[in-house]
Amino acid sequence: MFTFKIDNEYFRESLLDYVGSKQGQSGILWGPKESQCVIITSGGKHGKKAGYQDKKNPDGTWCYIGQGSKGDQNPYNYANGLLTNGNRNVLLFSTREPTTLEAKARGNNKKNYKFEGIFDVISWDLKTATEGDRVGDKLVVFHLIPSNNIFNNFEIEASKQLEKRVTLADLEERIGNKRSSPNKTRLTVQEYRERSSLIKTYALLRANGVCEFCNKPGPFITEFGIPFLEVHHIFRLADDGPDSPENVAALCPNCHREAHFGKNKTLLRDALHSKIVRALMH
C-alpha cells in the first residue's frame, strides 16, 4: 500500500525499502518492489556544489537535473531512461540537511527527505551548466508535472465532450495527434492536460456507463446526466497523467479501490488489461 504523505519527511532507508533497492547513490532510485514508479531526490549539498538547479516553478511543476556525475549527461542511460521514457510515475522528494541540534539528538547526520508528491515527466531538455563543478557540461533537465489535483473539473469537461456526441473514432484521432512521449521539444502543461482529458473521456465513452471490470452499471447518475465511473490507469500509481487508450479503464468505485488496495490487485490488473486489449481488438 502507498505509505508516503505529502510534506512528511522520511529517511533514505524508507525510500529504498519502498522500491526494494540497496543503491548507494542519491538522485534516482528504483527497484523490483514497485516497478511502475521511480523515486528521485532533489537538492542537498552535493547537488548545490555541482551547480544543479532543481527548482519548483510557480505553476507547481518542477525542473529536475538528471544523473551522471562527469561530462555530458546521457538522457538514455538506464537511470535517466527511467524518466526519459515517461512510463513510470515519479515520486519526488526534496532533501533537507539536518540541523546541528537534530544531528546531535539522534546521533547521526542523516538527511531528511520531504515527499513533494507524485509527478509525471512531460518533457526534457539538454542545458549547458554555467556554474558549479559542471560548468560546460550538458545536463538533462526533466520537466515534471504533478499527477494529482489536475482534473478537479474533469467530470464537467467530460460531460461537455459527451454532450457533443463525440465518437470513439474522433477521440482516437485527437489522442493520436497529441502523443506526449517526452522528447527535446518541451510539451506545455496545457497540451499535457488536454491529452489527459481526452484519454479519460475516451475511457468513459468506451465503457458506456458500465464498469469495465465487473460489468455492472455505474452506481448512480451524476448531475451532468452521465453514469458515475472513475478512470483508472492500469499500470500507474496515480490516476492522472497522459497515457494510452489500452492502459485506462472506467471502473465503479468498488473495483477502483480494489485495483489499488485489494489483496489480489496484481491479478486484477493483469485481467483488466487483457480484457481492455481484447475489447480494443474488436
Q: What is the set of domains in the chain, with CATH numbers?
A: 9-146 (2.30.280.10), 154-281 (no CATH)
Q: What is the pLDDT of residue 39?
A: 96
> What count of other Cβ atoms lies within 10 Å of the Cβ of residue 25?
11
Over 90: is that where the pLDDT of 147 sits?
Answer: no
Q: What is the pLDDT of residue 180?
A: 47
- SS3 (DSSP) at 89: strand
Q: What is the pLDDT of residue 282?
A: 65
Q: How far apart are CA 102 and CA 84, in angstroms?
A: 37
Please say whether the beta carbons of 252 and 214 come within 8 A. yes
Q: How far apart are CA 280 and CA 48, in angstroms?
A: 49
Please say whether the beta carbons of 99 and 124 come within 8 A. no
Over 90: is that where the pLDDT of 18 sits?
Answer: yes
Q: Give the range with max mean pLDDT: 7-21, 66-80, 132-146, 167-181.
A: 7-21
The pTM is what?
A: 0.73
Q: Please list the helix, strand and coil fractions of the chain in percent, rounded to the nearest 5, in that order.
A: 35, 20, 45
Kindly report the average pLDDT of the chain as a whole number: 82
Average pLDDT rounded to a whole number, residues 102-117:
92
Please say whether the beta carbons of 239 and 249 come within 8 A. no
Rg of the chain over all Cα atoms, to the nearest angstrom? 21
Confidence grade of residue 59 (pLDDT, cut at 50, 70, 90): confident
Q: What is the pLDDT of residue 54?
A: 85
Confidence grade of residue 15 (pLDDT, cut at 50, 70, 90): very high
How many Cα atoms occupy the beta-carbon half-sphere of 84 within 13 Å? 17
Q: What is the pLDDT of residue 184?
A: 47
Over 50: is that where the pLDDT of 175 sits?
Answer: yes
Over 60: is that where the pLDDT of 161 sits?
Answer: no
Over 80: is that where the pLDDT of 7 sits?
Answer: yes
Kindly tell me the burial class for residue 58, based on how many C-beta atoms sit within 10 Å of its own C-beta (0-12, 13-18, 19 or more).
exposed
Helix or strand holding residue 141 (H, E)? strand 138-146
Q: How far apart are CA 54 and CA 239, in angstroms?
A: 25
Q: Considering only 89-103, 210-224, 233-247, which range has the smallest mean pLDDT?
A: 233-247
Please say whether the beta carbons of 131 and 196 come within 8 A. no
Q: Which three cell numbers stand for residue 80?
A: 535517466
Q: Which residue has the higher pLDDT, 280 or 146?
A: 146
Over 50: is that where the pLDDT of 115 sits?
Answer: yes
Q: Which three cell numbers stand for residue 57?
A: 516553478
Q: What is the pLDDT of residue 132?
A: 76
